[in-house]
Amino acid sequence: MRQATLCFLLRKRDGRPEVLLALKKQGFGQGKWNGIGGKVDAGETLEEATRREVIEEIGVEVGSLEKVAVLTFYFIPPASDPDWNQEVHVFLARSWRGKPRESEEMRPQWVAYEDVPYGEMWADDRLWLPRVLRGERLNGVFTFSDTETIVQQEITLLGE
């Protein structure tokens, strides 16, 4: 199964917690808001892949990474490409160097937790991301019949 990473930068602005989301401009997930990430290349650790993807996609160098979720995604053929099946390792970053910038692939934007545009994200995000932003660590398994319809889901605390 393809291994991938996802990273969410967090900050407080005027006392309000914010998360950096990015609009995917091309490729898999185009038109959806998400964290920053992508596939793990051969020979890379999860952390190395996360750091590389964040630099490539928004031009910042993250500090320490906190692993907060492992999400497994299955897409039922023939409605979708079976190569989409993947295990995604989700990290939070509270420190980084540089200012997030737009790239050919992503357009980053800071969003207050209460303003996260779940309706413009993957259907599963509304099920696990609010919990992660509240401090939970999760395992999730999601089965999609297409890119919008979840037909089966299970979320447990990480380590259970």
Instruction: Quote the pLDDT of residue 75.
Output: 87
- Inter-CA distances, 106 with 35, 36, 40, 79, 129, Å: 10, 8, 18, 26, 19
Q: Which domain holds residue 56?
A: 2-157
Q: Report the mean per-residue pLDDT for the chain.
A: 94
pLDDT tens digits for 13-58?
999 999 999 999 998 889 999 999 999 999 999 999 999 999 999 9
Instruction: Quote the pLDDT of residue 29.
Output: 85
Give the confidence band of 84 by pLDDT, cuts at 50, 70, 90.
confident
Is the pTM above the cut of 0.85? Answer: yes
Instruction: Quote the pLDDT of residue 154.
Output: 97
Instruction: Quote the pLDDT of residue 57.
Output: 96
- In total, how many domains does the chain have? 1
Instruction: Quote the pLDDT of residue 148.
Output: 83
Instruction: Quote the pLDDT of residue 41.
Output: 96
The CATH number covering residue 145 comes to: 3.90.79.10
